Amino acid sequence: MKFEHVVCPLCGCLCDDLELIVERNEVISTKNACALSRSMFLNLNADLAKPLIEGKETGIEACVDKAIGIISKADYPLVYGLASTESNAQRKAVELAELLGGAIDSTSSICHGPTVLGVQMMGEVTCTLGTIMNQADLVVFWGSNPVDAHPRHLTRYSLTPRGLFTPRGRKGRRMIVVDVRETKSSKLADRFIQLKPGTDFEALSSLRALIKGEKIDIDPELKELAEEMKSCEFGALLFGQGLTMSNGKNMNVNAALALVRDLNQHTKFAILPMRGHYNVTGADMVFTWQTGYPFAIDFSLGYPRYGPGEFSVVDLLSRKEVDVALIIASDPVSSLPAQASSYLSEIDTIVIDPNRSMTSEIARVVIPTARAGISAEGTAYRMDGVPIRLKKVLKSPYPSDYEVLCKIVNGVIDGRSKDS
Amino acid sequence: MLMGEGIKLRLQKEFNVPVDAPCIRPDLFKTLGNEKIKNLDLHVGNKVKGLKDLFEVEGEFSDEITIDGDLSNFKGIGHKMESGKITIRGTVGMHTGAEMSGGKIIIEGNASDWLGAELQGGMIRVKGNAGNLVGAGYRGSKVGMRGGMIIVEGGVGNEVGALMRRGTIAVGNAGDFTGCFATGGSILVWGDTGERTGAFMSRGTIVLYHEPKLLPTFKYGCAYNPVFLRMLLRLLSNWVDVDPQYITGNYKRYSGDITELGKGEILIWVG
Amino acid sequence: MEDLKIVNGIVYDPLNGIDGERLDIHVSGGKIAERAKAQRVIDVKGMVVMPGGVDIHSHIAGPKINMGRRLRPENHRTAPVPKTDVTRAGVGGGLSSTFVTGYRYAAMGYTTVMEPAVPPLMARHAHEELNDIPMVDKGCYVLMGNNEYIISHIHELNKVENYVKWLLNAAKGYAIKAVNPCGSDNWKWGENVHGLGEKGVKFDATPKEMITTLSEVNKRLKLPHPLHLHTIDLGVPGNYETTLETLEMLKGKRAHLTHLQFNCYGGSSWKDLSSEAGGIAEKVNDSKITVDSGQVIFGDVTTMTADAPWQYRLYRLSGNKWVNNDVEVECGGGIVPYRYRKKNSVNATQWAIGLELLLMIEDPWRVYLSTDNPNGGSFTSYPYIIKLLMDKKFRKEELSTLHQNASSTSLPDIDREYTLGEIATITRGATAKSLGLKNKGHLGVGADADIAIYPLKEDIAKMFSKASYVIKDGDLVVGKGKIISEKYGKTFMLDFKEKVEPDPDVREFFKYYTVDIENYPVEMAYLPRYEAIKCG
């Protein structure tokens, strides 16, 4: 069976032009997919999770009941993950955290959390990816390596496509890469500026001073970059974790946001974060419309409070403040610093995930689910905020993340009404 | 109203779940009898408990509170307090003295992040170290500290005095981005400072006693002995040992951040 | 759902010509009925009974308001809203979270709210948020005034007509919205338009052509609501001339000019900005145009519009943080926090103009109450505005606390005081009529049983801020200004009677999008409860 216009639930590009051939509930070939995407689609049945309690296989109902029992007794539970699931599951997860008086956080806090803090400080002059395609004659990738991390970004959105006012495609566009090391992306660039590690902030501040017309003594390459940025017709600065997770973090983002904002006194310029997980943007969106805040939220007082550095996953775990962790569609054991992730094996950790992971290995309860975008429909938000409907292409024996979360929410409510 | 001997709180057991404790404030306690104090609500994780479930409580009707124990997980002590005094004989958690407008908090151990955040007035003194964002503005705010004084004898983390508009902060050592986004006020660092001091500042003064690495967006002006600083140092010598040479010595003046208004100053003591 | 009988209330139902009569209202099956076999009787003796409020213009859902929420944690921090046994938690500053938005509207007796600015590419997002707004029925308007397909086919009316129809259906929108037509598109190149006849930077179309084309298409498609227009030069001193020109251009046509207060400025700079509301009101009186006021409320707000060049201007004026988002092919938008100050001459004049419009436009069926939430202020300020309209003395007292320039307007000389019947008109009867929602805004038999019951109080603002009872689709959901039961309303969409297919050149045009045309239209899954209103 052939599926067309399939949306790829892998990275923040959320390409929606894939074709899949499915036979006997397996993807046997893909068209238009990048290497990462193809590898994902062709290996969907590897490492599937099974319903487990204390490492022993059991029925999914038993796992859900166990999870309800554990989480209902918690003094301060954490709900975490949610970047690789659809928005209905994210909505339900917020409801659960609120119901439990716990904390909720998404993987934003370990990738583009600093971006959010930057935006809250400075604002954000941005655009959708199609605006870059249609208008940009200059694209600057800063601390980001799209060739490896977002393989089709350059060909679908930012470098080679011909848009409404960019009929020459690649030929009409300058590509600049600013990074601390050579990458596959820097090799494609018309100009590569290599920074000393940990000096992004100084470079961005210097550029801002130059754009303002101040005279400062810096690398001539940066002076040329400032001129290029000022004189383009429509520029875009696309930044990745090389900026958000290096020395200076949210301050680096502040400087980049301010630079782009200031450039708009001379030309049109936009800035976009190159967000990783396919629906981490959706987690920000859903959390924000339901609570006002995009990540690192606490409900222990019955209302939402915002606390990056306080209610964010690394901090709650490192300080050992939570007593139960519910991990949804994420693998913190492999992605968090050891001092944080090791605590997950000390407390009751529940995992809701279609796949086995390092986190499911240490969890007390594992609830397997139908993978969003593969075996469950729903909404995902592209890195630029464009919402796209995910497709269901394979059948799964398990319920979706959303369905499991509904059961848990209902179970917690039922348990309470029995108690009272 | 008759003031008692002071109110003593002694923590009974230690645990990790965070406690939200903004009810611990002297201007409230001075109006309450012992029973009422004991029955004040604290949020312990997702549960509500009485103060007496966690603390042994002595005294009543006093605006002086002394607390014993490791309060690392206690947040918001002295939040918004307007008068009175809290002495913490140990270490304390986040948001201590945040938004307070008067009175005094003495912390004999360490303090955590957001100490005296958006402080309006009053004084906070820490004998040990403090965390990040001391005296800073909360996320998204335009203005942080608007008045009062924070003295930390040990070191503080990053972004001390972020968004500061008025008041004084004096610390032993400081991390990165000291005084970022400041629009006024004074920050003094007796020891070492990290990188990027004064980033985005438009006004205000940062005084350093060890040579820092400055951003390229600060420009050297002159060396001099600023009058206001002499007065400020004399004032500070009421609470900290100020080397007399700091008062008489010269300072190199750098102005910035030129990416912003550029009317902020970093003064570096040269002896 | 049980049947209800609401007895002894004083009923204001302007659409049915009822102006303060003591009548009983019967509710059966979620509708107003001739006679219900009600088990439950609610005695509302001495209280005022009105149809549920209908807000024609309030930014409550979608990418723009959500970017605003994300931008302003400092605004939420001081306005937490705890959960209760029946309601969800959230925040309730000027940018309330979705749940709180629904609760607050309901507490004031509003039961229908329209989100007025959705980029079609982001329509799914708007619908997701609408689905998380409880208590009210809702719908959204689709941004079209800077759509580059329309701009580039501006002289091909048939093509534009078919495209607009397809787009409304694809976005599951309810009306055509135009914001600074052609100006926001120019902003994609850092420019704006000045004057109705100015051509775009990249396209030949003028604002005048865009407005007349969309208004003509609106007429041809027989849409229930007229073209909803945020016209050009908004917020600019001296813009009243453009506004008069726009009104002249639309004379005899159906159109709705939104938050008109921002387009009534005389003078040549911020220093000498003055009110021209009188001339504008006269022109409106003389036309078929409907308008809403766009009242400003003193205090902190977050401005957000698809008028991106205006938001840039406001950023440069205020120095506050600024969000801009250019949406491919369709539109753009901006967000800037702002504070309206009583002692600021411009802000005080703006405040006066909003009231002048409501008081000087004679026909209450053509001027509606709005704050352009959250731009001029929060929708929660409606009771305060109602009091200003109904109480001349209060108006004068407020005026005396403002910068003197507010008194140079004609406001001090206006003696008109709104009656309760007129308030019911500008907040529900007339807005429902303008929207073409035949089952809303009145209490006639067959109407949706959305009923607001207010305590008759000396202080009008208190009376309208907490309804004694609110009934939504026949269910009692509010008691004494508090939510007693949570309920989710429906979304209004359009019924074109036939399947709508895009022209082949629309498919061709999609090469300028980064989303496949097959993945573009909003699926019905996003409208779990809906009512499709027939066009024609």
Count of H-run helices and E-run strands, chain A: 18, 20
- Kindly indicate the confidence band of residue C37, based on its pLDDT and cuts at 50, 70 and 90: confident
Measured between beta carbons, the chain A residues lying within 8 angstroms of B182 are none
**A130 part of contact set with chain C, CB < 8 Å:** yes
Which pTM was predicted?
0.98
Residue B236 CA to residue B246 CA, distance in Å, equals 12
Pair A204, A211: CB distance under 8 Å: no
Place of tokens 């016209």: C231
CA nearest to A413 within chain C: C85
Q: pLDDT grade, residue C2 (50/70/90)? A: confident
Q: Which residues pair with C408 in a beta bridge?
A: none
Domain residue extents for chain B: 113-269
Q: Measure CB to CB from residue C73 to each of A301, A306, A381 and give the nearest one.
A: A306
Token pair for residue C102? 């629904």
Strand locations in C88-161 (E): 90-91, 110-118, 137-143
For residue A420, the model assigns a pLDDT of 75
Nearest to B43 by CA among B79, B7, B84, B68: B79
Q: Which of C121, C126, C124 is nearest to C148 (CA)?
A: C121
For every residue of A313-351, DSSP letters joined together read HHHHHHTT--SEEEEES--HHHHS-HHHHHHHTTSEEEE
Structure tokens at C147: 């759509």
pLDDT tier at B1 (50, 70, 90 boundaries)? very low
Q: Write out pLDDT tens, residues B236-261.
A: 999 999 999 999 999 999 999 999 99
**In angstroms, what separates the C-alpha of A330 from chain B's closest C-alpha?**
24
Residue B174 has pLDDT above 60, yes or no: yes
Asked if A125's CB is within 8 angstroms of C322's CB, the reply is yes
Q: How many CB atoms lie within 10 A of CB C248?
A: 12
- The dihedral sign for the CA sequence A359, A364, A368, A369: negative
Neighbours of chain A (3+ CB pairs under 8 A): B, C
B138/C77 touch (CB, cutoff 8 Å), yes or no: yes
β pairing state of C4-13 and C47-51: parallel
Q: Select the residue of A206, A216, A321 nearest B18 (Cβ to Cβ).
A: A321
How far is C457 from chain A, CA to nearest CA, in Å? 32
**Torsion, Cα of C433, C435, C440, C441 (10° steps):** -50
CA distance readout (Å), B120 to A320, B27, B167, C80, C415? 32, 16, 8, 22, 45
Helix axes C63-71, A113-122, angle to 10 degrees: 90
The whole-angstrom separation of Cα C292 and Cα C113 is 14
Place of tokens 């979270």: C97
**Collapsing DSSP states into helix, strand and coil, what is residue A196?**
coil
Overall average pLDDT of the C486-494 stretch: 98
Q: Say what the pLDDT of residue C38 is.
A: 75
B2 pLDDT band, cuts 50/70/90, is very low
Share of chain B above pLDDT 70, in %: 99
Give how far Cα B70 sits from Cα of A6, A315, B55, B254, C244, Å: 55, 19, 12, 42, 70
- Tokens 């249609």 belong to residue: A134
What are the φ/ψ torsions at residue B22 (nearest 5 degrees)? -70, -10
Selected residues 162-221 of chain C with any CB under 8 Å from a CB in chain A: 188-190, 202
Tell if the CB–CB gap between C323 and A122 is shorter than 8 Å.
Answer: no
Hey, is the C-beta of A387 within 8 angstroms of any chain C C-beta?
yes
Q: In whole angstroms, what is the distance from residue A7 CA to residue A23 CA?
A: 19
Min Cα distance A346 → chain B (Å) is 13
Q: Which residues of chain A have pLDDT under 70?
A: none
Nearest Cα of chain B lies from the Cα of A24 at a distance, in angstroms, of 48
Nearest Cα neighbor of C227 from C181, C195, C189 is: C181
Q: Which chain B residue has its CA at the smallest distance from C68's CA?
A: B140
B204 vs B266: CA distance, rounded Å: 9
Among A291, A295, A289, A293, CA closest to A315: A295
Q: Does A261 touch chain C (CB under 8 A)?
A: yes
User: CA of B44: how far to CAs of B264, C81, C87, in Å?
Assistant: 43, 20, 23
Chain C residue numbers with beta carbons less than 8 Å from the beta carbon of A123 are 71, 315, 320-323, 335-336
Is B4's pLDDT higher than 70?
no
Reading the block at residue C198, the tokens are 């100015």
What's residue B5's pLDDT?
A: 75
Residue type, A85: T
Contacts of C315 in chain A (CB under 8 A): 123
Q: If you measure CA to CA, which chain B residue comes closest to C72?
A: B140
Each as own residue / partner, the long-range contacts of residues A31-37 (CB below 8 Å, 24 or more positions apart, any chain) are A33/A8, A34/A151, A34/A152, A35/A151, A36/A10, A36/A11, A36/A151, A37/A8, A37/A10, A37/A151
Per-residue pLDDT tens digits for A182-210: 999 999 999 999 999 999 999 999 999 99
Q: Which residues contact B57 (CB under 8 A, 6 or more apart)?
A: B7, B8, B9, B34, B37, B38, B51
> Can you tell me which residue has the tokens 């067309």?
A4
> What is the spatial distance between Cα A398 and Cα A407, in angstroms, rounded to a whole number?
13
List Cα–Cα distances, A161 to A154, A236, A398, B256, C514, in angstroms. 8, 15, 40, 42, 10
Name the DSSP class of C495: E
CB of C523 within 8 Å of any CB in chain B?
A: no
The CATH fold of domain C1-51+447-483: Urease, subunit C; domain 1 (2.30.40)
Cα C512 from Cα C503, distance rounded (Å): 16
pLDDT digits over C174-202, tens only? Answer: 999 999 999 999 999 999 999 999 999 99
Q: How far is CA C145 from the centre of its chain?
A: 17
pLDDT > 70? residue C339: yes
Query: A73 — contact with chain B (CB < 8 Å)?
Result: no
Neighbours of chain B (3+ CB pairs under 8 A): A, C
In whole angstroms, give the CA distance from residue C143 to residue C229.
10
pLDDT for the residue numbered C536: 81
- Pull the structure tokens for residue A224: 């040329």
What is the number of alpha carbons within 13 Å of residue B171 lying toward its C-beta?
31
- The answer to whether the beta carbons of residues A87 and A286 sit under 8 Å apart is yes
Rounded to whole angstroms, the Cα distance separating A203 from A196 reads 10
Considering the segment(s) C53-440 as one domain, its CATH architecture is Alpha-Beta Barrel (3.20)
What CA–CA distance (Å, rounded) separates A24 from A6? 18
Residues of chain C within CATH 3.20.20 domain(s) are 53-440
Which residue in A386, A390, A402 has the most chain C C-beta atoms within 10 A of its own C-beta, making it the best mutation to test that interface?
A386
The CA distance from A364 to A54, in Å, is: 5
In Å, how far are B78, C92, C338 from C78, measured between CA atoms? 18, 9, 17
**To 10 degrees, what angle do helices C345-360 and C382-390 make?**
60
Provide the ipTM: 0.97
**What pLDDT does A306 receive?**
98
Confidence at residue C499, expressed as pLDDT on a 0 to 100 scale: 87
Residue identified by tokens 């008025």 is: B166
How far apart CA A319 and CA C79 sit, in angstroms, is 28
Of A101, A209, A310, the CB nearest to B217: A209
* Gap between the Cα atoms of A184 and B222, Å rounded: 47
Separation between Cα atoms, residue C517 and residue C329, nearest integer Å:
13
Residues 6+ apart with CB under 8 A from A197: A180, A246, A247
Listed in sequence order, the DSSP H helices in B164-264 are 227-236, 244-248
φ and ψ of B221, to 5 deg: -110, -70
